[in-house]
Amino acid sequence: MQLRRPPSRSRSTVRELIDLGGAASLVCRKFSLPFFDFNWHVHPEVELTLIIAGRGTRHVGDSIDDVLEGEVVLIGPGTPHTWHSQPGSAVGSLCIQFPAEPLLAAGGGIPELASLSSLFARARRGLLLDRQLGGEVASVMHEISRERSPLRRLSLLLDALARIESSRDASPLASVAWQPPDSARDRALERVLRFVHEHRAQPLP
């Protein structure tokens, strides 16, 4: 099921600070949690998320969708998002985050990287990979999580991005009308979002 919120240029978000540690251009984290807490947030890094276990709801931009185990989503820089599930059912995810700027800047001298600019622009609406493509990218993500060599991890990330960039099997999540947040109407819209989320299970009048 998919719902849409009224498109808005802004909403209140928590700005997540991602520490790359200074010795790497990406961070890879695996989460095992009792549930996904509702944490509407944004960051300038690109994010690739695999849902390893559990079900719930995914919020990206102005979209609200059911989460399926095994799904892979690419989220562009500055796009607010969160996953949420009810307590009582364990969940897990694998999350890779990296800044877009170094790769985009490198595209000036490495033409093979130039196509990442359009991919990251598409990802500002969030991209849900279909089952086959998602399975391929998920396998690469697991390799990244196990790999110790920083250079090898980077090459695997480029492999994953190349698979997405060359495929048509990635569907945008947020509507065409949606724009990243940039104004002062954030708090009111977040209250609406939270109300919809909290009462989503109730029957319509």
pLDDT at residue 17 above 60? no
Q: pLDDT digits over 154-163, tens only? A: 999 999 999 9
Tell me the pTM.
Answer: 0.80
pLDDT at residue 183 above 70? no
Give the pLDDT of residue 10.
39
Q: pLDDT digits over 20-55, tens only? A: 666 678 999 999 999 888 888 888 999 999 999 999
Give the pLDDT of residue 180.
73
CATH topology of domain 27-175: Jelly Rolls (2.60.120)
- Helix 131-146 with 150-165: angle, nearest 10 deg: 170
Mean pLDDT (the chain) is 85
CA–CA dist 33, 126 (Å, integer): 23
Q: Do residues 137 and 160 make contact, with C-beta atoms less than 8 angstroms apart?
A: yes
CA 173 to each of CA 67, 130, 176, 185: distance values in angstroms, whole numbers, following the listed order: 12, 12, 9, 22
Does 56 or 203 have the greater pLDDT score?
Answer: 56
DSSP H or E stretch at residue 145: helix 131-146
Phi and psi (nearest 5°) for 86?
-80, 145
Place of tokens 């300038």: 44
pLDDT at residue 186 above 60? no
Q: Which residues contact 112 (CB under 8 A, 6 or more apart)?
A: none
